[in-house]
Amino acid sequence: MRRPIQLLALLALVLVLFGIGLNRPTDTPEVATPLPAARTLSPSDLEAHVAASAADMAPQRQPNPHPLTPFALQQAQRSTPSLRAFVHFALQHAEAGGFISAWGALDECFGETLDGAGLPESSLSPKSEQSLQADALLRAACDLDPGERERVMQLAIGGPRQVLSKDPNLQVLGRSIATGYNQTIGLGQARDLIRLGNPYASFSLLSLGSTPEQPDLHFAGQFYSSPFEQRLLTDAWLLLTCDMGQNCGPEAVPTLRMCRDRGWCAQSLQSAMALGYERIPDGLPRLRILHQRLLRAWREQSAESFAPGSPGAAASQASVSTTH
């Protein structure tokens, strides 16, 4: 199994190429903004998004007094069944985490974060009528064709530095790319990712300090190396995103992916996970314990739990384990 959100590998390339700055974001008031109608994403659309964002950066223009907040962006994603419409919308709101959210939504539809790699074959169900229905719903929801997806990724590679740097999540993720990982940088990244609270960017908390040569995931002083261990930790984190406010209902993309890709068909992501992990010896108790440990670390803003090698890593391992 690859690292959570394989699109982050592309983000690393972007950050290296454009040297994204490290300015800290500021809190902003929330404003409701309607989603655009879903239509084909053309190169001119993406150029317009970049031009508009660049214009917002121009010295002669006053900054938007009511930029979108991350919470409003998350609510906008919940309110639309169309990936195309959300990507249109998100790319215009980098200040709210729009770029990382657009790429994360792409991975949710088409990436490996939600597939069944690493799980025992016996836990996966053959194709059923329910999984075929889920596939049809996913085709409708994930309505970007390959050409459109490529254009969105080209925006990442070809976007101006000043536009990309408006996404505060990219600023945080760029630190270890620019300087190399160390304990101080890892703790700082973990604190800022927890503070920003973006469900997609915060996935990288599990891979702070990892490299292509050492791709292990990490949490609370423990490294997760085997495909099943990495899948277990990733799935526990997916449950945490439900606690963060992500849509985990019956028509949510993650729930439909569970049904189509694993045969775990239920009315919520949580129920689908429970259904599937019951088929794995000791799987469901381990998933629930790990989810609760992650939830506790997140709520307590325990950056030490996510930064490998930090002085408090061993203590955080003991702390998040005391109630289990």
Say how many domains are in the chain: 1
Instruction: Specify the pLDDT at position 320.
Output: 43
pLDDT means over runs of 10, the chain (324 residues)? 45 40 35 44 52 40 62 88 90 88 91 92 91 96 90 68 77 74 85 93 88 82 93 97 94 96 97 98 98 97 89 51 39
Q: What is the pLDDT of residue 37?
A: 44
How confident is the model at residue 86, as a pLDDT? 92
Residue 195 forms part of a structural domain? yes
pLDDT of residue 178: 66
pLDDT of residue 91: 86
* Interatomic CA distance for residues 175 and 186, integer angstroms: 9
The answer to whether 208 and 135 are in contact (CB under 8 A) is: no
In a domain, 2, yes or no: no
> 275 in helix, strand or coil?
helix
76 — alpha (psi -120 to 50), left (phi > 0) or beta? alpha
Domain region containing 164: 8-321
Distance between CA atoms of residues 193 and 318, nearest Å? 22
Non-local CB neighbours of 212 within 8 Å, separated by 6+ positions? none
Question: Would you say residue 188 lies in a domain?
Answer: yes
**Core vs surface per residue 66-76: b (16+ CB within 10 A) or e:** ebbbbebbbeb
Residue 3 lies in a domain: no
In a domain, 217, yes or no: yes
Q: How many CB atoms lie within 10 A of CB 173?
A: 23
Q: Please report whether residue 229 resides in a domain.
A: yes
CA atoms within 13 A on the CB side of 172: 26
Model confidence, pTM: 0.79
Confirm whether 159 is domain-assigned: yes
Residue 281: how many other CB atoms lie within 10 Å: 11
Residues in CB range of 62: below 8 A, 6 or more apart = none
Q: Distance between CA atoms of 165 and 56, rounded to whole angstroms?
A: 12
Does 42 map to a domain? yes
Cα within 13 Å of Cα(10), Cβ side: 19
For residues 324 and 293, is the Cβ–Cβ distance under 8 A? yes
